[in-house]
Amino acid sequence: MDSLTQIVLGGAVAAAIAPARHRRAALLAGAALGTLPDLDSLPILLLTDDPVALMTLLRGASHSLFVLPLLGWLLWAFFRRRGGRVAQSPKRWFWAIQAALLTHPVLDAFTVYGTQLLWPLPLRPVMWSSVFIIDPLYTVWLLLACVAAFFLRERVAAQRALAAGLVLSTAYLGWSLAAKAMVEREADRALAAIGLADAPRFSVPTPFNTLLWRVVAMTPDGYVEGFRSLVADEGAMRFQPHASDVAALAEAADIPAVARLAWFNHGFMRASEVDGELVLTDLRMGSEPDYSFNFAVAGHDGGRWHGIAPKQLSFSWDGAGGRLPMVWGRIFDPHVDLAADDCLSLSC
């Protein structure tokens, strides 16, 4: 999730657990701890300039449920030894520190980017993908709770505000999972009707909401993309087909950057040849035709692909931003066409 959300989540959980007389200090400490795991980008940038490594190493060790409890214990022990607030109430501060750290990777796992919760185990990143990376309806309750607690200080109303903010934000996550289940049920039916019952797929909400969802399923020659509004849509979902150079992807599968990306994005990527280079596009972040992550990872060598130093291609924020009003319009109007002319569906 975005940094503001992680800051207010960390602040809210720490302040709710710490003693009331330490509430302001806990808000500040929780805010710092809530954003601490995202500082992993700094050492990674010092170690490599490989864009594939930069992308796939993020949310790794610093987000591990094996690493963060140890880090939390070390921080707690350090501040307890120094005296002060932590020494005055060690048990409550221990859990405040742990909660502020651990809620960060768990919340990140609700996005589609992927979080390596069980690093260093060689498992694919977890991506529950039920909320967009920025979702105001999740963040606003935590922000209001933190502001209220800061000004109300030791009053009972401050604790109530924090509890309300945490309950409402958590309930929103619960709603996001329920919404995802409803969308995936409709997607399963539509994909089965077009012969893709067993196709690998994922669903993800569109920017800043949980009412309009995007579903992508992989096919033998590429992938299909469809949208579902929980407000406006009725009947079968419609899917538009898109091509991918699956033969080139298969030939280059053993190239380290290709294998690393396939592991990281669960195989949800498009392959295309651009100026003699193999470009891989992460299908999880963006939508047709604008995607955030595109990497040139291989070149030709006598008709075969060979690895090159990976390059991240530029992303058009203007193009993606220009589509945003259409996306929001699609929430309430099923006739807004976010796809091209052709579609795959029994209703087309």
8-state DSSP, 115: B
Beta pairing class for 294-301 and 212-219: unpaired
What's the pLDDT band for 343 if we cut at 50, 70, 90?
very low
Burial level of 218, CB count in 10 A (0-12/13-18/19+)? buried
Question: Cα 304 vs. chain centroid, distance in angstroms?
Answer: 35
CB of 269 within 8 A of CB of 282?
yes
Quick check: bond before 310 cis, omega within 30? no
In whole angstroms, give the CA distance from residue 135 to residue 90: 34
What's the pLDDT band for 47 if we cut at 50, 70, 90?
confident
Q: What is the mean pLDDT of residues 218-234?
A: 96
In whole angstroms, give the CA distance from residue 258 to residue 252: 7
Q: pLDDT by residue (tens digit) across 278-300?
A: 999 999 999 888 899 999 999 98
Dihedral of CA 197/201/207/210: which sign? positive
Q: Three-state secondary structure along 213-230?
A: EEEEEEECCEEEEEEEEC
What are the structure tokens assigned to 224, written together? 């299909």
In whole angstroms, give the CA distance from residue 138 to residue 79: 32
CB of 197 within 8 A of CB of 218?
no
